[in-house]
Structure 1
Amino acid sequence: MKKIIQLLMVVLVSTSSIFAQSIKTNRPQEPKGPYPYYSEDIHFKNKQAGIHLAGTLTLPKKEGIFPAVILITGSGPQNRNEELAGHKPFLVLSDYLTKNGIAVLRYDDRGTALSEGNFKSATSVDLASDVESAIAYLKTRKEINPKKIGLIGHSEGGLIAPLVATQSKDVAFIVMLGGPGIPGDKILQIQQRLIAEASGVSNKEIKGTEKVNKKIFDLVKKSSNIEQLRIDLRSNLLKFLHENPDFKKPDNMTEDEFIHSQVETYATPWMQYFIRYNPVNTLKKVKIPVLALNGEKDLQITPKENLNAIKKALRKARNKNITIMELPDLNHLFQEADTGAPQEYQKIKQTYSPTALKEILHWLKIQVKP
């Protein structure tokens, strides 16, 4: 229980930070080589950032011209397979799509695995420029149809894909997998409560956590300087703890340790951008085909609030090619789940629901048909 409470106090959309350790477990969907398609490890440059990114390009065949998708990971530093909780979702997804005629580019996030750069200093806007560089790279490949390049973003990747689509005319369509449609602070508030409830945390503890996080979110939203934000967070958290002596700090942390953990989590460029960002303002400009999928049991990016917001924003854009779907029994990773709580991710053998894979492919086939 203490571990769960600590998770809630440092609540993030990212699951990679929750399950950073290596977990060896049976993953029956994970493909093993040799693959029945062409696979090539590649590098491409983000000229704007001055870094090289490493990834893998898979083609249905070595020769030919194919539609392509770029996979965009969720929040937190992740490798090209989006590896977390002992699963490799992007490896399974890319394998499935490539076997069905679609080229796939997946890559290590900047500063992760074989990619250059500094992930800690990057915001979603910086990560969007990495995607734009991936598009530019695909356009240099004779095997790729430049008019049929799309983006598939999971979680934060579903935030980044629309950003790129509004900046680049080379994006033909986007798929948002558990992507956000409401502001970051609202996402974190809902996520926090639902995960806490699913984990058996008492209502009293939940309310205490909500109280301190609301104060933190307000400070982050008002701040324009990271160093000043660190000072403000520290002084306000210290005041909060003194005014609320019954507040339970996680894992028997000292006061200084608790305050330090919160400051290090929230006084970052990424968190500042995420908490302030409202996806609706970007989605209202997206006119290309969009597929937005959520799992019914997604506790991190909840389907009701986010899918409704995505649908309304795209309608304001007068987008005529919108598909919005809530898939029964699936969690944030699109696994068949019992509760949807992050603690289940690593226990579930399934990496990707066959239903989700089929829905993604069916929609993509319609978009890329000759």
Structure 2
Amino acid sequence: MIRLLLLLFLFFISSLLSVFGQSEKRPQDPVAPFSYQIEDVTFKSGKADFKLAGTLTLPKDKKNPPVAILISGSGPQNRNSEIKQFNHRPFLVLSDYLTNNGIAVLRFDDRGIAESEGEFKGATSHDFADDVLGAIAFLKTKGNVVDTKKIGLIGHSEGSLIAAITASQSKDLAFVISLAGPGVDGAEILLTQSRKAMELQNVPADFIDKNEKLAAKMYDITQKSSDSLTIATEIHSFLAEQKKADPSSPLLMQLTKPVIDGQIKMLTSKWMLNFIKTNPKAYLSKITCPFLALNGSKDIQVLSQLNLNGIKTALKEAKNKDAEFVELDGFNHLFQKAETGSVQEYATIEETFSEDALVVIKDWILKRF
């Protein structure tokens, strides 16, 4: 039986993951000796008084190269954007590839994770954008090793939203790359990914439709208020009305008070409230620097065409003159070549980050810088 938790099928897979997992190397994991310089660094968050820890990789044979800051998606992640349950380290692979091709990379542990200070719990996309502003300020002091006029952002999933928020506040960026990034608000992301996930599980259409109707109303209630008590009261009232009107519904019969309270607790968490209320268009519509949006056709977490169209509309409003939108056929949310795109496939695919996608990113940057 599909549980109500599917109403909140998570936007970004990392926040679902266990801290336990495999440790075997994947084929794409880089191994020493490396053909580039590696520097462990620390820098302060943009506004908060704590230090973030990361790694700066520098091409050996290229003076003052362009530099990309990697921004991870949802959930606590280290500088490698490590997904322990699935045993993949996408940012380790991405940074190694870009640096070997003449592009410097700064990647860092999320606040409160691994070697970084600060508190992860309760932080929102806007808080993480402050951390990225700190990374930009740090790189501006590294004019002896990177081109400080060629600093860019590469964000994955929620990291793309964070990149957009950051770019809307900073005039010091040369480019932005969105990887599997959102172009619509959080409520629509949650609704569409939940539907797609259930379709892949062959859930009956009428169940999916009912689930979506309930979820849409819950998100609407959440978007209209910031008061947890008000949200809880209105959701309880709405669901009570639904149960009274259709007491034999298999879905509604599962809505016991503990289940509903659990859903409300998730909906009213600081991160989720911020996410549901945030529309990327508010930030994308202010970005005029070169912009690349890459999404995979089999991504079930951030549906490709829906979100690429949203990004395209926002950048058109910004009158961005150098924006490119690419749908990579057959790729999932992690940019692996996939059969269905389902979350269950992530661990079974040996490939961490398809070289086809890596080439697109590298070529796009080097064409401009």
Tell me, yes or no, whether TM beats 0.5: yes
In structure 2, the residue matched to 1:69 is 68
Alpha-carbon distance in structure 2 between the residues aligned to 1:225 and 1:62: 55
In the other structure, the counterpart of 2:43 is 44
Q: Aligned in 2, Cα 1:326/1:47: closer, same or farther, shift over 3 Å?
A: closer
Q: Which residue of 1 aligns with 2:157?
A: 155
Q: Is the 8 A contact 1:42 1:54 kept in 2?
A: yes
Contact 1:7-1:18 at 8 Å conserved across structures: no
* SS of 1:305 mapped into structure 2: helix
String of CA shifts for 1:317-348, please: whole Å, max 9, x gaps. 22111111101100111000001111111111
After TM superposition, the structure 1 = structure 2 runs for residues 128-147 of structure 1, keeping only pairs within 5 Å, are 128-141=129-142, 142-147=144-149
- Confirm or deny: 8 A CA contact 1:41 1:54 kept in the other structure: yes
- What's the offset of the Cα at 1:10? 2.8
Take 1:28 and 1:63, find their aligned partners in 2: how far apart are those partners?
27
TM-score normalised by L of structure 2: 0.91
- 1:86 offset after TM fit, Å? 1.6
**RMSD, aligned α-carbons:** 2.3
Note if contact 1:41-1:55 (Cα within 8 Å) is conserved in structure 2.
yes
What is the CA distance between 1:7 and its match in structure 2?
5.6
Q: Distance in 2 between matches of 1:186 and 1:19?
A: 22
Matched, 1:53 2:52: yes
How far the C-alpha of 1:254 sits from its partner, in A, is 8.3
1:247 positional shift: 5.0
Report the secondary structure of 2:327's partner residue: strand
Larger deviation, residues 255-264 vs 287-296: 255-264
Q: 2-side partners of 1:121 and 1:107: how far apart?
A: 19
| AA partner of residue 325 (structure 2) | I
> What are the equivalent positions in structure 2 for 1:226-245 lying under 5 Å apart?
226-234=228-236, 236-237=238-239, 240=242, 244-245=246-247
Sort the Cα spacing of 1:130 and 1:244 in 2 relative to 1 into closer, same or farther, 3 A: farther
**1:226 and 1:269 in contact (8 A); partners too:** no
1:220 and 2:219 correspond: no
Number of residue pairs aligned between Structure 1 and Structure 2? 365
Counterpart residue identity of residue 32, structure 2: G
Query: Which piece of structure 1 moves more, 92-101 or 239-248?
Result: 239-248
> Whole-Å Cα distance in 2 between the matches of residues 54 and 242 of structure 1?
54
TM-score by length of structure 1 reads 0.91
CA contact (8 A) 1:208 1:247 kept: no
For the 8 Å contact 2:186–2:276, the answer to whether it is kept is yes
- Name the structure 1 match of 2:351: 350
Superposition map of 1:250-265 within 5 A:
255-265=256-266
Structure 1 residue 304: deviation in Å?
1.0
Structure 2 gap segments, 5+ residues each: none
Q: What amino acid is aligned across from residue 145 of structure 1 in structure 2?
A: D
Percent of matched pairs sharing the same residue:
47
Instruction: Tell me which amino acid in the other structure corresponds to 2:73.
Output: G
Provide closer, same or farther for how the CA distance between residues 51 and 237 of structure 1 changes in structure 2, counting only shifts above 3 A: farther
Cα deviation, 1:245-304, whole Å, max 9, x if unaligned, reads 445579x98834422331232112221122122212222211100000010111111111
Q: Which amino acid aligns with 1:193?
A: R
| SS at structure 1 position matched to 2:13 | coil
How has the CA–CA distance of structure 1 residues 316 and 261 changed in structure 2, closer, same or farther, with 3 Å as cutoff?
same
Question: Higher mean Cα deviation, 17-26 or 79-88?
Answer: 17-26
Letter paired with 1:120: K
Deviation at 1:65, TM superposition (A): 2.0
Structure 1 unaligned residues grouped into runs of 5+: none
Deviation per CA, 1:11-38, whole angstroms, max 9, x where unpaired? 2211012232433255211112332211
For residues 148-198 of structure 1, the C-alpha deviation after alignment (integer angstroms, 9 at most, x for no partner) is 000001111111112211211111100000111112111111111011111
> Helix, strand or coil: the match of 2:362?
helix
Equivalent position SS for 1:160: helix
Query: What's 1:8 paired with?
Result: 6
2:151 touches 2:174 (CA, 8 Å); kept in 1?
yes
Contact 2:297 2:329 in 1 (8 A): yes
Shift of 1:48: 1.3
Displacement of 1:205 in angstroms is: 2.9
Query: What is the CA deviation profile of residues 28-66 of structure 1, one whole-angstrom value per residue up to 9, with x for unaligned ones?
Result: 111123322111222111151222111111111399422
- For residues 43-97 of structure 1, the C-alpha deviation after alignment (integer angstroms, 9 at most, x for no partner) is 1111512221111111113994221000011122222111122211111100100
